[in-house]
Amino acid sequence: MAGQTLDYKARLEEFIKPIPEKGSVSAGSPTYTRKKINDTLKAAGVVPPKLPAMPKGMAKDERTRLATEHDKALVALQKQHFPATNNDDFKTLTGLTHTGLLANWIGGGQQTSCNSFAGNCGVQMGAKIFLGTFNLEAHLAKNGLSRLWIPATSGRRPAYGDIFEHSDRLHQGVSLGFRGDKWLTAEGGAGGPTHDGVDKVARKEKDFDPSILKGWVSMARYLGAQVPDWLQGWWVIYCGDTLYNYHFSEDFEVS
């Protein structure tokens, strides 16, 4: 039982080793989003093209065409003077590249790496289905794995390797357990088009707030051996005049 559990945890830790304890793995450099291009070019002494005039009565399609052409001209200048580079560690962790994300953003997209990173972590741990998808509870049910889902209202806390989903926004991450009362996680989407124009994967330490979560996938239930029914629950142990209370969970946690 312990061997199987430790095995998937060790595989996850090996996979996320490139992420520093404090800091992040950046998708690449430099950035070029609509928000940053003009300032970057001006700082380099390059005069960026001006957005064409758009009179009040101009048709919407024509406005869109002119704006798109302007964006393309900006990107072409940025690529010429500051060609983007890709970080191999970020690509390994997420399956995405900085240049690919930039292409999405300059077209108005908001893609980040949170779900692809979480899904890749699941694959590395041994998951047979890709868990990097939103509405995880329904995804598990569709695959006959409803028993793996733990709702945030359960009163429990996510264990090491559990893949969680937010309720307050479209976001996923991977739990790395707890250090005292602090929740440790690894998360993609730690940057993006509105955060300096570059996406990142980072380790985080924060207060645990179940109110912002839908829930999480129990990787111990998925990949570990079954904890016997007779062991689960509270145990009271006496040692002389000292009384100890131990709780054994079905997710291989002892508290």
Q: What is the pLDDT along the chain (255 residues), one digit of tens a residue?
A: 444 556 999 999 999 999 999 889 999 987 666 667 777 778 778 888 888 888 889 999 999 899 888 878 877 887 787 778 999 999 999 999 999 998 888 777 899 999 999 999 999 999 999 999 999 999 999 999 999 999 999 999 999 999 999 999 999 999 999 999 999 999 999 998 877 789 999 999 999 999 999 999 999 999 876 677 787 788 899 888 899 998 877 666 788
Say which residue the tokens 């709780």 belong to. 247
β-pair type (233-239, 163-166): unpaired
Q: How far apart are CA 93 and CA 189, in angstroms?
A: 12
Query: What pTM did the predictor assign?
Result: 0.76
Instruction: Please tell me whether the peptide bond between 18 and the residue prior to it is cis, using omega within 30 degrees of 0.
Output: no
Q: How far apart are CA 252 and CA 159, in angstroms?
A: 9
